[in-house]
């Protein structure tokens, strides 16, 4: 199995634990084009309405989740709010599973999506991304007594892997012969308990998201596999392929936030003191799989 450094493979794909069916869609901007050829969600339209319409799941701790006191919050939720504020805009979030996000961008129902969404070659052919603000890699949640019988990626054959049908991690698992068990837009405790009780053998996902999910639910007897790390990746905001001015303006304020320490502060707040805006200096196992992003 090939081993690759993070920097060389930093633009490979990844996704999230929770994702699946659309929970609801904004009835806002339509998908009609104006005379300039831009969609009705172009920067001129956004600036005129004064509101940035954003899709997110609301179930993916700590990127996008609900707090009893704060309501919808999370690393990317607050990062988006700060970016919008610096652009003189308000934000309206619409919560949905990942499967609905890209469709909603293309239909003009939202301007962009934030939900630990990975930059990859297939998406870059069909959408625009901002510059990345989070760098990570893949990990596995397994049972602690025998690591669910998994020592290498090849040992995924015959195991039960949980996730949404269209995630990159599901594609990796199934490419190695795992049986995919699909879930709707559920919270992390559902996955972790199903690993503990044997309904699942493994959930493959972002290292930081998985480590925090386990830390938040210590009563569930699962762990992160200590020896298998793979699939370096980075995340950013994703938007319609013709919305170049929105991309440029967001890139400008994201760069400001990286330089003035705002992104680091938000990262440390939501990721237990860790700075996810820094690229980790490690080597990873690179899965032998061709990714198919619907």
* Residues listed for the chain: 294
Would you call the peptide bond into 6 cis, given omega within 30 degrees of 0 as the criterion? no
What are 262's two structure tokens?
């705002």
Per DSSP, the residues of 216-269 read: H-TTS--EE-SS--EEEEEE--EEETT-HHHHHHHHHHHHHHHHTTHHHHHHHH
Asked whether residue 86 carries a pLDDT value surpassing 50, the answer given is yes
| pLDDT at residue number 40 | 53
Question: What pLDDT, on the 0 to 100 scale, is given for residue 293?
Answer: 53
CA atoms within 13 A on the CB side of 117: 31
Residues 269, 263: Cα–Cα separation, whole Å: 10
Q: Over 50: is that where the pLDDT of 222 sits? A: yes
Work out the pLDDT band at 290, boundaries 50, 70, 90: low
Highest mean pLDDT among 31-35, 154-158, 204-208, 289-293 belongs to 154-158
Q: Which residues pair with 56 in a beta bridge?
A: 95
In CATH terms, the superfamily for domain 14-134+237-268 is Periplasmic binding protein-like II (3.40.190.10)
Q: Are the folds of 14-134+237-268 and 135-231 the same?
A: yes
Checking if the pLDDT of 23 tops 80, the result is: no
Mean pLDDT to the nearest integer, 57-65? 91
**39 has pLDDT over 90:** no
The model carries a pTM of 0.72
Indicate if the pLDDT at residue 89 is higher than 80.
yes
Cα-atom radius of gyration of the chain, to the nearest Å? 19
Q: What is the pLDDT of residue 31?
A: 37
For the cut 70, the answer to whether the pLDDT of residue 94 exceeds it is yes
99 neighbors 21 (Cβ within 8 angstroms): yes
Domain positions in the chain are 14-134+237-268, 135-231
Q: How far is CA 176 from the centre of its chain?
A: 22
Q: Which CATH superfamily is domain 135-231 in?
A: Periplasmic binding protein-like II (3.40.190.10)
pLDDT of 26 reads 31
Strand 179-182 versus strand 51-56 pairing type? unpaired
């Amino acid at each position: 199995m090939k081993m690759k450094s993070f920097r060389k493979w930093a633009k490979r794909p990844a996704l999230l634990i929770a994702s699946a069916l659309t929970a609801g869609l904004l009835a806002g901007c339509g998908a009609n084009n104006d005379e300039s050829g831009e969609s009705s969600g172009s920067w001129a339209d956004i600036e005129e309405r004064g509101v940035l319409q954003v899709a997110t799941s609301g179930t993916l701790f700590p990127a996008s989740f609900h707090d009893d006191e704060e309501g919808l919050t999370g690393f990317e939720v607050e990062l988006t709010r700060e970016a919008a504020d610096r652009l003189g805009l308000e934000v309206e979030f619409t919560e949905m599973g990942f499967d609905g996000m890209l469709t909603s961008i293309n239909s003009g129902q939202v301007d962009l999506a934030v939900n630990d969404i990975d930059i990859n070659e297939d998406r870059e052919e069909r959408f625009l991304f901002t510059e990345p603000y989070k760098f990570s890699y893949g990990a596995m949640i397994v049972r602690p007594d025998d690591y669910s019988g998994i020592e290498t990626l090849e040992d995924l054959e015959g195991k039960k892997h949980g996730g949404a049908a269209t995630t990159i991690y599901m594609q990796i698992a199934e490419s190695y012969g795992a049986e995919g068990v699909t879930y709707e837009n559920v919270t992390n405790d559902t996955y972790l308990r199903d690993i503990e009780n044997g309904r699942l053998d493994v959930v493959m996902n972002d290292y930081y998201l998985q480590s925090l999910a386990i830390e938040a639910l210590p009563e569930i007897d699962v762990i992160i596999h200590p020896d298998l790390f793979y699939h370096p990746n980075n995340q950013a905001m994703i938007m319609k392929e013709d919305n170049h001015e929105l991309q440029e303006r967001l890139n400008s304020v994201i760069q400001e936030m990286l330089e003035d320490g705002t992104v680091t502060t938000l990262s440390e707040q939501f990721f237990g003191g860790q700075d996810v805006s820094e690229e980790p200096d490690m080597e990873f196992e690179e899965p032998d799989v061709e990714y198919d992003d619907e």
